[in-house]
Structure 1
Amino acid sequence: MKLCVALDLPSKKENLKLAEELKDFDVWLKVGFRSFIRDGKTFLEELKSVNPSFSLFLDLKLYDIPNTMADAAEEIAKMDVDMFNIHASAGKKAMKEVMQRLEPLEKRPLVLAVTALTSFDYHTFKEIYGEDIEEKAKQFALQAYQAGLDGVVCSVYESAAIKHETDSHFLTLTPGIRPFGEPGNDQKRVADIATAKKERVDIIVVGRPIYKAKNPAETVKKIVAAL
């Protein structure tokens, strides 16, 4: 299991400072909407200059018509990121088209499909999708697997079932991780490291418990040791 640190701080300066503090760790760094819209491609390049071994996850959750998603995926692949994500609910055709567009590339990033946002509780998810989270997440994951994606973004609680439905090597990345039982805040389906291990998660995403810590590097050291 690997650690992915969410760079969700209010400014590029703060995010780069955090990256500097963590430059000696073998971790993923997640760049989301806020950071990417504000700081763009140059921010990705600056992160790599801090430590070329950082693995970058561009968390933009593409969701559009198939051709537009494939166009965007092709542009993302030129940015030298290591992974990005799309919404599984865009449909199997869109997912296939994204992978077909990336197929000719000599080197492509990993592509994950978002199943159900961890901000959803069970009631809200069913209100929108008309099905229970567990069943729909498995369905989305199977479609992503069949479309040739590398894995999915899901909550800890769907990880083992998704691997059973697809393949043990099909990646699961889980947000909403509170390593040692910290508050969940806006995340509804949160879990700790022990639960993530039990559910066979491949990559855990941790944000607030790291960047709000007095010593982020020490917190990361403890998390990595627990992995």
Structure 2
Amino acid sequence: MKLCISLDLPSAKENLAIVKEIKDFDVWLKVGLRSYIRDGKEFLEDLKAINPKFKIFLDLKLYDIPNTMADAAEEISKFGLVDIFNVHASAGENAMQTVMERIKDIPNRPLVLAVTALTSFDNESFKAIYNEDISTKATKLAKDTYNSGVDGVVCSAFESLDIKKNTSDSFITLCPGIRPFGEDAGDQKRVADIPFAKENSVDFIVVGRPIYKDTNPKDVVKKILENI
């Protein structure tokens, strides 16, 4: 299991300050919509400048017509800075296959994951949109993702094990909504702690607020790494 740290603070300066504190740890860094729209590719370069060994997850959740998704995926892959990016599984198998076909020959292409069900959904709000329970639909979307040649999915820890059982043990599950030591859930609905993530064969845990809202982020990261 690997730790991926969300960089969701209000400014690049604040995010970079956190990263400088934890620069000696073997962790992944998640750059989401807010940070990327505000700070762009240069921010990714700044992260690598702090420690070239950092791995970057660009969390933009691409969702458009297949060719537009593939165009964006190609540009991201050519950066040479991104190690994982994601798309929406709801875009469908054709879109995911088009993405994978487009980037397959790019040297050292990033891993690609597909979002199944956002962890901000509870079952009732998810069902209102998708007309199915989360557990059922997330697995279906994961199977579509697997069949499309994508490397794995973004899901909650609650779906991870079932997804692997229906795809492959090597199919990656990256799980947001992790509250390592039982911290407040905030705006997330399906949250889990480290022992639960372990039990459910999660490959990547994504942790944000429990780290950057603490007065000593470095100690929190160290404690998480000791527990995973």
Q: Same fold (TM over 0.5)?
A: yes
Shift, 1:209, TM fit? 0.2
Unaligned runs of 5+ in 1: none
Aligned to 2:203: 202
Aligned to 1:128: 129
Q: How many residues align?
A: 227
> For 1:89, what is the secondary structure of its paired residue?
helix
Shift, 1:106, TM fit? 1.8
Shift, 1:78, TM fit? 1.4
Aligned to 1:20: 20
Shift, 1:141, TM fit? 0.4
> For 2:60, what is the secondary structure of its paired residue?
strand
Shift, 1:104, TM fit? 1.4
> For 1:209, what is the secondary structure of its paired residue?
helix
User: Which whole-Å deviations, capped at 9, do the CAs of 1:20-56 have from their partners, x for residues lacking one?
Assistant: 0010000000000000000000000000000000000
Aligned to 1:49: 49
Distance 1:60 1:221 in 2: 27
Give the letter aligned to residue 140 of structure 2.
Answer: Q
> For 1:86, what is the secondary structure of its paired residue?
strand
Shift, 1:108, TM fit? 0.2
Aligned to 1:152: 153
User: Which whole-Å deviations, capped at 9, do the CAs of 1:77-98 have from their partners, x for residues lacking one?
Assistant: 0122000000000000000000
User: Which whole-Å deviations, capped at 9, do the CAs of 1:90-141 have from their partners, x for residues lacking one?
Assistant: 0000000000001111210000000000000100000000101011000100
Query: What is the 5 A alignment of 1:61-72?
Result: 61-72=61-72
Give the letter aligned to residue 89 of structure 1.
Answer: S
> For 1:111, what is the secondary structure of its paired residue?
strand
Identity %: 66
Give the letter aligned to residue 201 of structure 2.
Answer: R
Unaligned runs of 5+ in 2: none
> For 2:38, what is the secondary structure of its paired residue?
helix
1:78 matches 2:78: yes
Distance 1:73 1:106 in 2: 14
Query: What is the 5 A alignment of 1:1-227?
Result: 1-79=1-79, 80-227=81-228
TM-score, length basis structure 1: 0.99
Does the 8 A contact of 2:78 with 2:106 survive in 1? no
> For 2:120, what is the secondary structure of its paired residue?
coil
The alignment yields a C-alpha RMSD, in angstroms, of 0.4
Runs of 4+ in 1 over 4 A off after TM superposition: none
